Structure 1
């Protein structure tokens, strides 16, 4: 059993340059894609990613906010899946907070590009795998 889930899982996540996000498609099947690591992480409960408003994933989350995120450390063969819900944020303040130099490559009109949004993921529970063992846990504040 993990002594400090927030520290153990947070360290794993912070060392990854990509993660995977999953949504439920219009036929009720899971759909997964790789994403750059979250721009902001609040413990292991809240994560913020940038995305295109026109993306397939955003359309899925508008219909069904349930989803999951997954991070894996291939070197040590361990990983964590967090299940929860996504919100699509389009307010200027959060988009400005998330903005980084070079983002115009994806959002040519800048911070107020209508095709730029923020995905906020709030975890409810998770499953951690390490050393041939899995552990399910609830995510609390």
Structure 2
């Protein structure tokens, strides 16, 4: 009998590592790491799956008796994966919809302010709320350097990525300090940074709005203005 392979990640399939359908029966197409209870365990694009699998190159080499470098392993996956069932099926989502999904996978984003000398200053921040793929809200201290930058110059950059797919944007940042919004955006873990709670005078919200975006998603590269 021909050897079976997971139609998502390419792993050899056996009765001990097959995924499960919604009724808990074995699924004959996908492994347990990619498919469980009738659903994919990770909402990846094909390029994300390849980047995810590359971290297991040493394990793959050991189990298969190979000696592939990560570059060689990636080349093999790029040749093989388009023929697997999961990736043969066309993803009908728009690029914007894919970007929304990508942003949902990211806990952090990188925000860029412009200092008084005209240099970009990137810093990683936790996202606390989003709208679409180009509006992101973040909490920070009113006395931080980035807030000082944005008070002088609202121009900003922001990017996020996950397993090889990414979005980079240019836009503006609004500094929000009204009590209604701060209370709405408040999360319990903020108390470690702002002991005064939602009305702590040091607690402000940064609201980034992207006006231009560069997408790199599943091998597709697009730059466009956001309307």
For normalisation by structure 1, the TM-score amounts to 0.90
| Alignment correspondent of 1:48 | 137
Could you say what secondary structure the match of 1:27 adopts? coil
Contact 1:44 1:139 in 2 (8 A): no
| Alignment correspondent of 1:26 | 116
Structure 1's unaligned 5+ residue stretches are none
Q: Distance in 2 between matches of 1:45 and 1:117?
A: 20
Q: Distance in 2 between matches of 1:135 and 1:26?
A: 31
Q: Does 2:207 correspond to 1:125?
A: no
Please show how residues 1-141 of structure 1 align to structure 2 within 5 Å: 4-36=94-126, 38-73=127-162, 75=163, 77-140=164-227
Q: Distance in 1 between matches of 2:218 and 2:185?
A: 35
Contact 1:20 1:70 in 2 (8 A): yes
**Cα deviation, residue 133, structure 1:** 4.7
**Cα deviation, residue 3, structure 1:** 5.4
Q: Which has the higher helix share?
A: 2
Deviation >6 Å, runs of 4+:
none
Structure 2's unaligned 5+ residue stretches are 1-91
Q: Give the length in aligned residue pairs.
A: 136
For normalisation by structure 2, the TM-score amounts to 0.57
Could you say what secondary structure the match of 1:8 adopts? helix
Contact 1:21 1:69 in 2 (8 A): yes
Could you say what secondary structure the match of 1:108 adopts? coil
For the pair shown, which has the larger CA radius of gyration, 1 or 2? Answer: 2
Q: Distance in 1 between matches of 2:217 and 2:189?
A: 36
Deviation readout 1:39-85 (Å, 9 max, x if unpaired): 22111232211111011110000000000110011x2x121011100
Could you say what secondary structure the match of 2:214 adopts? strand
| Alignment correspondent of 2:28 | none
Q: Distance in 1 between matches of 2:217 and 2:133?
A: 17
